[in-house]
Amino acid sequence: MKKKLLSLLLSISMLLSLSGFALAAPEEGNAQTTVKIVHTNDLHGYYTATSRGQIGFSALKAVIDREQPALVLDAGDTFHGQAFATVEKGASIAQLMAAVGYDATTPGNHDWRYGKDQLKALGQGRSFKILAANVVTDSASAFFDAPYLVKDVVASDNTPLRIGVFGVIDDAFYTSTPPAHVAGLQFLPEADKANEIAQILRDVENCDIVIALTHQADLPGFVSALHGVDAVIAGHEHLLIDTVYPDADGREVPVVEAGYYFQNIGVLTLAFDPASGRVNASATTARFLSASDVAGLSDPAIDQTISSIVELQEPLLNREIGQSTRALPYSWEELRVSEQAIGRLVTNAYRNATGADVAIENAGGIRAGLPEGQIVYKDMISISPYGNTLVVRQLTGQQLLNVLEHAIDIGIQCDAVYTLQKQAVANGEDPYQYAWPENSGSYLQFSGISATYDVTRPAGSRVVQAQIGGAPLDPVRTYSVATNSYVIADAEYPDIVSAPTQYEISTCEEALIKFIQTGDFEKGLDVPGLVALVPEPAQPTPSATVTPAPTESAQASPAPSGTASPSAAPTAQPSPAPTGVSSPDTGDDAQTYPLLALMLAALVAANIVLAIRQHTRAKEDTRR
């Protein structure tokens, strides 16, 4: 009897299971009801595949065709950066975004660089929308044409779903672009506007899923204030993010971000639970495709579009900027050991554009010289090809001295190697047995500051005296310092990295163009700023007492450029031509740079004539 009863219960249980009932409550999330979203962010004007890991729009289109996503979204800083984007004020990027099938984007802080009207125009007449609901005019009306996007899609199990997408930008970014570019606009608190739009999408538009696009510096804080948002697709932090954050109601919200510089494509698969009517964060998955993942993928139509755009841009790249009465030569090596006229031109341009007290540029950030005669836009891009923006930070005099000391130390180490290489050439030996320091590209060119330094002193205490604006540098005073957006993240200079940003303006090449167009750019290019003292028995008393920042242990230092002896140089291991891997934001492939350009010199005392060869080698910096 007991066996029959047990058999009957098992049979009933099986029937209930087969008929779709369950004795236990179902777990949230139906793995079969999913929708896929392809997303990008912080492309910064990159548009095609490169050897440095950029993917490009052609491969993106192939990925979209393969993945068949419900939506293709972008989270900002897309229209501005490389010359391909800047010469057409973002229009070339907008054309490609429409061609590959984006549904929507939200602007990043750099996307305002062409001004509010141009940014708005980039989304008009296109198949994608620019969404930034919290950007309003001074009269409180919406600035962009649409506050949100609603799209009806079919999930993986054929469930019809209605998806609402809106965009908001971090309101703190209002001050990170020149005031003229956002004049007449307000950036309202983004979380408040997000909640307002999310409620409209659910209650009025009857959306099943609500997605927030945001360019955001504080993702946990943003999500913690949200109600009714199912997922956040973000930009700005230049990270691969796949996480969840709790919202204001304690629900876990999936948050993703797909790196930067088109090095990744994000694929977000949202799991929707029909029973609860919400996205199940625990069943949602994210993938990030890299260049190796999409190797060989391309779209012929997009390739043709890119070729056509490049051809049309050629006249723009050859437009005249100005005239120069002299050439400012470029030397990869000399920029790493001493001040150069081309370095002073760039840094003077930064001060001209910003009004900063001091301007600095890393040696690796300068990639060409200036020709004599006609100067064209292509020359500007060649000098500053990275699409970096110009940033002004506030440093104390002490911090500036720390920066100056470290730059001098890098220059001394570089000069020691350079001297050995020149001596090797003179002796008929291989100069490439001596390798440049990995941080050689972090040597700095300056404008607005002058100093004398003593190479015989220990590292960190070499500066004898320094002046800014004709007055002795004050260690406790705050100075404005203009530089590029690469240097502010360079670990070589923690004092710059930690300094507060005063403001951020145009790209570096735009500042250079405006300076050239003044017609007055050649003044002061050869005035020395950093002067190495000839060692004397008694050193002069510094005008400002400086507490040296902690540095590496002091080592024997060579004499100024061209006089160092091999024994004074740091130990260098035999090596082929200095090579390395470019940093992500260099924006250049392997290039050919002159290694040594030495004039024939007559050594009268020894009555020997040295034939010094000019070498060219393809090489890239490991650090800019």
The pLDDT tens digits for 295-325 are 999 999 999 999 999 999 988 888 999 999 9
Identify the pLDDT of residue 24.
33
35, 272 in Cβ contact below 8 A? yes
Say yes or no to pLDDT of 2 above 80.
Answer: no
Say yes or no to pLDDT of 579 above 80.
Answer: no
Identify the pLDDT of residue 178.
66
Identify the pLDDT of residue 341.
96
Q: Which residue has the higher pLDDT, 621 or 301?
A: 301
The Cβ-side half-sphere exposure at 39, using a 13 Å CA radius, reads: 34
Say yes or no to pLDDT of 185 above 90.
Answer: yes
Identify the pLDDT of residue 572.
31
364, 345 in Cβ contact below 8 A? no
Identify the pLDDT of residue 602.
32
Q: Which residue has the higher pLDDT, 21 or 458?
A: 458
**Residue the block writes with tokens 């002046």:** 467
% of the chain residues with pLDDT over 90: 66
- Give the C-alpha separation, 223 to 426, whole Å: 64
Identify the pLDDT of residue 535.
61
**Residue the block writes with tokens 């003077």:** 348
**Of 143-152, 471-480, 507-516, where does mean pLDDT reach its minimum?**
507-516
387, 85 in Cβ contact below 8 A? yes
Beta strands in 259-354 (DSSP E): 265-273, 278-279, 285-289, 320-324
Region 145-155 average pLDDT: 96
- Give the C-alpha separation, 262 to 265, whole Å: 7
Say yes or no to pLDDT of 521 above 70.
Answer: yes
List phi, psi (to 5°) of 182. -125, 20
The pLDDT tens digits for 162-175 are 999 999 999 999 87
The pLDDT tens digits for 193-231 are 999 999 999 999 999 999 999 999 999 999 999 999 999
Identify the pLDDT of residue 479.
98
91-100 vs 300-317: helix axis angle to the nearest 10? 170
Q: Which CATH superfamily is domain 322-576 in?
A: 5'-Nucleotidase, C-terminal domain (3.90.780.10)
Average pLDDT score over the chain: 82
265, 46 in Cβ contact below 8 A? no
Q: What is the CATH number of domain 26-312?
A: 3.60.21.10
Beta strands in 34-110 (DSSP E): 34-40, 71-74, 104-105
Confidence at 594, pLDDT banded by 50, 70, 90? very low
The pLDDT tens digits for 377-414 are 989 988 987 767 899 999 999 999 999 999 999 999 99
Confidence at 587, pLDDT banded by 50, 70, 90? very low
Q: Which residue has the higher pLDDT, 557 or 323?
A: 323
**Residue the block writes with tokens 């290039």:** 591
Q: Which residue has the higher pLDDT, 321 or 503?
A: 321
Region 448-461 average pLDDT: 94
- Give the C-alpha separation, 388 to 506, whole Å: 9
Boundaries of every domain in the chain: 26-312, 322-576
Confidence at 528, pLDDT banded by 50, 70, 90? confident
Q: Say whether 322-576 and 26-312 share the same fold.
A: no
